[in-house]
Chains A and B, each alone.
Chain A
Amino acid sequence: MGMKQNLHKLKEKYRGKKMAPAFNALHTFLYTPNEVTHGGTHVKAADDLKRTMNIVILALVPCLIFGIFNAGYQHYAAIDMAKGLTVEPSWFGNFFTWDNFWLGAGKVIPLVVVSYGVGLIVEFIFAVIKGHEVEEGYLVTGMLVPLIVPIDIPLWMLAVAVVFGVVIGKEVFGGTGMNILNPALTIRAFLFFAYPTWMSGDKVWVHGAVERAGTADAISGETILGSYAQNQDVIYSISDMFWGFIPGSVGETSKVLILLGAFILIFTKIGSWRIIVSTLIGALVMGLIFNGVVSAGWIDEGSTFYGLMSVDFWQHLFIGSILFGAVYMATDPVSAAQTNKGKWIYGFLIGFISIMIRVFNPAYPEGVFLAILLMNVFAPTIDHYVVQANVKRRQKRLKLKAA
């Protein structure tokens, strides 16, 4: 009799008790549940919700690890640059170093712990009150949240936002699978509107920039989008952007690792390639339109929008968080469109609107999370019309046959 058997026995003993869901959650976390389907089985597949969630987390781990090193790298690089040195990133020279790791881990791990801790406590409380099992939905959200916030966000703010996001974004609608909005983005949106000084600007993206502001050791934490929005020169090269040696939210800087995650998600059929591809197409189309506006000479260099509008359309995919949003956020199976045609429309509009907000709204330097939340709201409408169109088409066919 191992621990597994004991746990199964305990489960039987406490069935129907108030704290049973909390116990069962721990139990399924450790072992495969011993419950099997009752009655005839129709769909045989090895992937349950837990496995689906775990693969997404797996796809996020490279981003997290890179984010830890990048946090340290950006900090030290900014200090060196403030001294007037030029800093060239090199993988083993100044990136994968223990200094970077300890500094980054000291900042990023607490974010992960707070995100998971607070979120799961809320989930457990709701499961016990409502008497249902704890759902796995928070596993991915809890991993996404630390990756999409600035490195120096105070932990209590994150905790407040997680409570808000899980309760208002998910539990009031009935928990995992019922939410209209993506919970991770709800959390980010809450932080963005509640504590804007910690979520945007040129100081929050590099560790230490806030506390050093105004002192002799001041360092800059400007993101690429911030520089473009102010029509300044960008000091980072395209390869820096691609590999991820740039300041930004914790886990979204390295495009190559996001693409790796995208391949994992597409290969395992967990993320919809339709949404990812159409989001990127939407972003490119909007970028092309803005390039067209610039080359047609409709705006001149004095315009506020000139900097961002003149960015080459394909570069939009490398700056900001459009790629991260497309791969990990837009593809959330619950809040995205469900029909195949709907997914194309949904994704395209996310990309399109993201770049539009990015260029036109200086108050919101990045529009990806707003665009995804907006389209989350519209996803059921899109699906409705796709389904109705299909119904009409078939009715027409039926009529033709009858005639």
Chain B
Amino acid sequence: MGLLSRKDANLILDPLADNNPITIQVLGICSALAITAKLVPSVVMAVSVIFVLGVGNVIISLMRNIIPSKIRIIVQLIVVATLVIIVDQVLKAFSYELSKELSVFIGLIITNCIIMGRFEAFALGNGPWKSFLDGIGNALGYGLILVVVGFFRELFGSGTLFGIEIFGNPVEKSGLYAYGYENNGFMVLPPMALIVVGIIIWVQRSRNKDLIEEN
């Protein structure tokens, strides 16, 4: 392979499927439930996490030899917090409505288990390039699920995708709505996000039997 060695490529590809942070490690569930009712916030959240985790992993990896291990959690927190504040301010400056919609959940990226998890598990023990790839890979895996869940929830819950009406207009009764179709209000509620994530996990595990835990 040209750009990336096989090992490096796996750092990005593994978390997309067989080691996905949400469906396999079951991390970062709360944000996945909270902001996936629409596609736009899901995408913004995914991009934010890609930025925070990619950059954060590099920073931690660069500092890994000078951080005293007793205070490493605090150092990690400061790094995440700084990055999250950057994201938050950028959102507020350029897309205020969206930042209001995402409300606390941008701030709560700090507590997203995926981020601290990758810092601890990977960046502290690997070089910057590998850490960068790992960060991007895990954030992509997280973002992928967010977007898939957001896709189904917005399509069936609101009948739109990125705010564009797919099934017609429910108020004017045009398109599908003229035939009696109605939006599924349950899709907009958080429990449905959990069920959609559950179905994704189900599909994934029935395609790849190795993922099924023994019990």
Q: A residues within 8 Å of B by Cβ?
A: 154, 156-157, 160, 168, 172, 190, 193-198
Contact = CB atoms under 8 A, between A and B. Distances in A.
Contacts, number: 23
B184 A154 contact: no
A255 B189 CA distance: 35
Contact of B186 (A156, A193, A198): A193
Interface residues of B, number: 11
Interface of B: 180-182, 184-187, 189, 195, 198, 202
A154 B180 contact: yes
A376 to B, nearest CB: 15
A203 B185 CA distance: 19
Contacts of B180: 154, 156
Contacts of B181: 156
Contacts of A194: 184-187
B183 to A, nearest CB: 9
Most buried by A among B182, B186, B198, B202: B186
B182 A157 contact: yes
16 contacts: A154-B180, A156-B180, A157-B182, A168-B195, A168-B198, A172-B198, A172-B202, A193-B185, A193-B186, A194-B184, A194-B185, A194-B187, A195-B182, A195-B184, A197-B182, A198-B182
| B contact patch SS | helix
A172 B186 CA distance: 19
Nearest to A198: B182
Contacts of A196: 185
Between A156, A172, A193, the greatest number of chain B beta carbons within 10 A of the residue's beta carbon is seen for A193
Contact of A190 (B186, B198, B202): B186
Contacts of B182: 157, 195, 197-198
A216 to B, nearest CB: 22
A249 to B, nearest CB: 19
B193 to A, nearest CB: 13
Contacts of A198: 182
B155 to A, nearest CB: 14
A156 to B, nearest CB: 7
Residue among A160, A190, A193, A194 with most chain B CB within 10 A: A194
A197 B183 CA distance: 11
